[in-house]
Amino acid sequence: MNDVELEKSQVLFGSDPTENIVAAVLAGRFIRLFLRTGRKVVFRDDPFHPFMLLEAPDLIADFGRPVSFRTLSGPGEYRIQAVFQDWGDCMAARDFLSRRTGKTPSAPDAPYLFLSDPVHQHLLVTGKTLFKGMDFGQLRRLALDIETDCSEGFEFSNPEREDDRILSIAVMDSDGYQEVLSGHSMGEGPMLERLGEIIRERDPDVLEGHNIFRFDLEYLRVRAARSGARLSWGRDGSEPKVRESRFTIAERSIDYPRYDIYGRHVIDTYFLAQIHDIGARDMESYGLKSVAAHFGLSAPERVYLDRSNIREAFENDPETLRRYNLDDVRETLALSGLLSPSYFLQTRIFPYSYQNCIIRGAATRINSLFIREYLRQGVAVPRAPGGNGGFEGGYTDVFSHGVVGPVIHCDVASLYPSLILSHGVSPARDSLGLFLPLLSRLRDFRLAAKRKMREATDPGAMEHFSALQQTFKVLINSFYGYLGSPLHNFSDPEAAALTARLGRDTIMAMIAWLQEQNARPVEIDTDGVYFMPPFGVDSPESEVAFVARLSETLPAGIDVEADGRYRSMFSYKSKNYALLGFDGSVQVKGSALKSRGMERYLRDFMRAVICCLLKGESAGINDVYEEYGRRLRDHQFQISWLAKTETLGESPATYRQKVAKGRRNRSAAYELAGRSDHEYRAGDQVSYYVTGSGKRVVSYENCKLVSSYDPARPDVNLEFYLDRLAQAREKFSSFVERENSLFS
């Protein structure tokens, strides 16, 4: 691709080239755009024409309010664009159609399409997007974090209790400004008023925090109401608007109070960390300190305080509390700087606000590109196919169990997108034929961004193009998932099934070639193969050459790359394995071997056992087992190592209803959440340990929150935890030499 500006593609970036839009909000019959000019922000009002898409104009006959119609061409079912005078009329039309048709707006077979976000609608029909012409460094970001008191006898601070006041508020912005507001020098009301002054003075485009929605903002709102302070944070002086919302990450749902601040965005790094972990699944916890340490963002002099020691530090060592509070916002700002640039760049592409671009799924974002271009060209939009979208997925298999080596991993670069392009797979309902050119353009843009990244000499430019190419990579790999998602307008599960079959055929052809060359396949993980190389392929250079020969056997456009070499591999079961690098590093993959739902002492024990196996030292497993048993009996493990941490997949109220109706079993985490003074929501985590006696104890009847553990009077159920250790050891029994008496 020639050196052209990446944002020239109207299909990708929208048809309107307006730059420096940092926010957009509904303002009566207008959408107010906030535009950055240097350090100042000015606003401009665009006329707003809200719309709905209908299968036929008579659906809205007798509506009783002004409406105009635009007829769209083409075979799509939604061939009428109904345009209303204002957002109130559009909302009324939604309710009218829901009653008339008996179909809610979310019903897949509804004869109308309603988009519930007015800013999204405006960006769709105008072709505008936020942040055009801007770099991430130009975005003004301000992180905040609060420290609070907790009344005696309670585990969690609660803003509804009078004494559970705010002790300090730390803020830090992307320009280096920092300030800590302390309860020592001002009352709670003045602290909150000063926070508002800081926000108005610094005028950030984005407010950031870690778990800011479910803790900091909620706490500030409730305490402001108690003190009579106003949270005048909006760019028009308004207070935040709050509504209950739900955010879905893979199989996990999080209930949270959504905050909308006029003219600004709110970014929660707690959400960003969980999104990032979908693929890697290697984070111990989503708490700020743990995530910052995971990414190497913690400063050597970082201050750590236990939650139970916050009040004592406030009263006796306020300087330590001040530093601790500042370290929290410093890490939050750094974490956002690491994880959010991709979404900043995506906001330049997709017709969503920055805040919404993060919480929308990849398939939803891709769908918006199609709708935007179809409306621009005046073409009818198809109705989503509906159904469950079920079809056979990628090919996975395990050929060897136990320890093998050496092992090479080869990977098909962007397998499904490559197959889609090389075989011309496209959704049947895409009458404009956008799918393949869009995917091809994205791939070209990624290659161009990678080239610019390599050529860049300025660190800022290098970082920008690195984030850009990574963003395009994510989008490219989302196209297959979009095809298989039956809830989007241009998806095609049959095309997705064809792509999956082509993927299986490709991997099986690779396996056949490897076996012909006397290589020994070990495991297949959808788009790559672990294999033991044949005799003579025993150096990095010969391994790369061998994989290149494999790549040459595949059709044009399908490229196989050598992705890693390892001294040994422990193959446990499909998608659960461990790798020993030639540098001595160990990687453990799969929930059966390192699930976060497993107690930490078991994860640590299993890793030690796996290391013994990988290094051919299985005789040492018995010593490891005896050591962990001794540490349990002598109470040498911190309680956090014995705790089980569970994420609530539904609210405690829903849990109680299901238990009462016999629709689910009781759970220790939910039982403890129900008894706590803290109000738990879906998505919250509960850490607990098992008490009582006997290895077959019923956990939900014998459990306590970790926060209630007293190390002076340990009450952990040793029989239970020793039995769990024995069960973990037994997992590896079949992989140890039979003559080893350990498992006899």
Q: Is the pLDDT at 301 greater than 50, yes or no?
A: yes
**439, 476 contact by CB (below 8 A):** yes
613 Cβ contact partners less than 8 Å away, ≥ 6 residues apart: 403, 570, 578, 621, 732, 735, 736
- Residues paired with 589 in a beta bridge: 577
Q: Which of 73-82, 442-451, 485-494 is the least confident region?
A: 442-451
Residue 567 sits in a domain of what CATH number? 3.90.1600.10
Domain count, the chain: 4
For 452-479, letters b (16+ CB in 10 Å) and e give bbeeeeeeeeebbbbbbbbbbbebbebb
Looking at the DSSP assignment, which residues form a beta bridge with residue 580?
568, 586
- The yes-or-no verdict on residue 1 having pLDDT over 50 is no
Same domain, 691 and 550: no
| Of residues 741 and 59, more confidently modeled | 59
Instruction: Tell me the percentage of the chain whose pLDDT exceeds 90.
Output: 70
Cβ count within 10 A of residue 501: 15
What's the average model confidence in pLDDT over 719-737?
90
Position 280 scores a pLDDT of 63
743 pLDDT tier (thresholds 50, 70, 90)? very low
| Residue 3 confidence (pLDDT) above 60 | no
pLDDT over threshold 50, residue 738: no
Split at pLDDT 50, 70, 90, the class of 128 is: very high
CATH number of the domain within which 620 lies: 1.10.132.60
Identify the residue whose tokens are 């843009």: 445
Q: Whose CA is closest to 366, among 483, 196, 264?
A: 483
Note whether 145 and 133 are within 8 A (CB): no
Question: Mean of the pLDDT values across residues 434-458?
Answer: 85
State whether 628 and 578 are in the same domain.
Answer: no
**In one letter, which amino acid is 627?**
E
Rounded alpha-carbon distances, angstroms, from residue 591 to 388, 409, 588, 603: 26, 20, 9, 10
Residue 452 lies in a domain: no
Question: In the predicted model, what is the mean pLDDT of residues 715-742?
Answer: 82
**Cα 397 from Cα 219, distance rounded (Å):** 50
Spatial neighbors of 425 by CB under 8 A, at least 6 apart, are: 419, 483, 495, 498, 499, 502
Average pLDDT, the chain: 90
* 168 neighbors 147 (Cβ within 8 angstroms): yes
- Whether 669 is in a domain gets the answer yes
Residue 231, pLDDT > 50, answer yes
- Write out the E strands in 203-317: 206-209, 241-249, 252-260, 265-268
Tell me which of 103, 130, 157 is where a domain ends. 130
Q: What CATH number is attached to the domain comprising 185?
A: 3.30.420.10
The verdict on 52 and 84 lying in the same domain is yes
Exposed (0-12), middle (13-18) or buried (19+): which is 618, by Cβ within 10 Å?
middle
Taking the C-alpha atoms of residue 82 and residue 70, their distance in angstroms, rounded to an integer, is 7
- N- to C-terminal Cα distance for the chain? 64
Please give the pLDDT value at position 5: 55
SS3 category, 246: strand
**CA atoms 370, 376, 382, 387: torsion sign:** positive
Does residue 649 sit in helix, strand or coil?
coil
pTM: 0.87
pLDDT the model gives residue 124? 97
Q: DSSP letters along 261-286, please?
A: -TT-EEEEHHHHHHHHHHHH---S--
Q: Does 276 have pLDDT greater than 90?
A: no
One domain for residues 163 and 78: no
Helix/strand/coil (H/E/C) assignment for every residue in 495-536? HHHHHHHHHHHHHHHHHHHHHHCCCEEEEEECCEEEEECCCC
Longest dimension (CA), the chain: 86
Location of structure tokens 């956990």: 699
The answer to whether residue 448 sits within a structural domain is: no
Q: Could you tell me the two tokens for 293?
A: 């340490």
Q: What is the DSSP letter of 184?
A: T
In the predicted structure, residue 744 carries a pLDDT above the cut 60: no
Full domain range(s) for residue 228:
136-344
Rounded to 10 deg, the angle between the 415-423 and 435-455 helix axes is 130
Q: Are 415 and 545 members of one domain?
A: yes
Q: Are residues 707 and 567 in the same domain?
A: no
If asked whether residues 567 and 711 sit together in one domain, one would say: no
167 and 119 in a common domain:
no
Rounded Cα distance between 345 and 129, Å, is 10
Where is the domain boundary, 130, 146, 164? 130
% of the chain residues with pLDDT over 70: 96
Q: Which residue has the higher pLDDT, 5 or 107?
A: 107
Q: How far apart are CA 469 and CA 341, in angstroms?
A: 12
On whether residue 465 sits in a domain, the answer given is no
Q: Three-class SS string for 562-599?
A: EEEEEEEEEEEECCEEEEEECCCCEEEECHHHHCCCCC
pLDDT at 154 over 80: no
Q: In Å, how far are 135, 143, 199, 342 from 138, measured between CA atoms? A: 5, 16, 17, 15
Same domain, 123 and 21: yes
Q: Do residue 175 and residue 213 come from a single domain?
A: yes
pLDDT average, residue stretch 539-557: 93
Q: What is the mean pLDDT of residues 570-595?
A: 90
* Under 8 Å between Cβ of 321 and 147: yes
Predicted confidence (pLDDT) per residue in 602-619, tens digit: 999 999 999 999 999 988
- Residues 641, 581 share a domain: no
Is 652 within the bounds of a domain?
Answer: yes
3-state secondary structure of 408: strand
- Whether residue 108 is found in the same domain as residue 177: no
Compare 47 and 286 and report the one with higher pLDDT: 47
Distance, in Å, from the CA atom of 481 to the CA atom of 255, rounded to the nearest integer, reads 25
Q: Which of 193, 196, 208 is nearest to 235 (CA)?
A: 196
Q: What is the predicted pLDDT for the residue at 324? A: 97
The arithmetic mean of pLDDT across residues 42-67, rounded, is 95
Ranges 106-120, 511-525, 672-686: which has the least confidence: 672-686
587 within 8 A of 282, measured Cβ to Cβ = no
Q: How far apart are CA 394 and CA 5, in angstroms?
A: 36
N residues, the chain: 744
**H-helix or E-strand spanning residue 35:** strand 30-37
Q: What does the block give as tokens for 133?
A: 């012409």
Q: If 0-12 CB within 10 Å is exposed, 13-18 middle and 19+ buried, where does residue 644 land? A: buried
pLDDT tens for residues 391-401?
A: 777 778 899 99
* Both tokens assigned to 406: 């050496």
Distance of CA 629 to the CA centre of its chain: 37
Q: Does residue 476 belong to any structural domain of this protein?
A: no
Q: 683-694 pLDDT, tens per residue?
A: 777 889 999 999
Backbone angles phi, psi at 323, to 5 degrees: -65, -40
Asked whether residue 482 is assigned to any structural domain, the reply reads no
The pair of structure tokens assigned to 625 is: 């087992």
Residue 588: inside a domain, yes or no? yes
Long-range CB contacts (within 8 A, 24+) of 734-739: 734/401, 735/401, 735/402, 735/403, 735/570, 735/572, 735/613, 735/618, 736/613, 736/618, 736/621, 737/618
Identify any residues that bridge with 246 across adjacent strands, giving them in sequence order. 255
Nearest to 547 by CA among 571, 528, 566, 569: 528
- What pLDDT digit, counting tens, does each position of 617-653 carry? 988 999 999 999 999 999 999 998 999 888 888 888 8
Looking at 309, 326, 344, the residue that finishes a domain is: 344
Between 677 and 580, the more confident residue is 580
Q: From CA 14, how far away is CA 84, in angstroms rounded?
A: 23
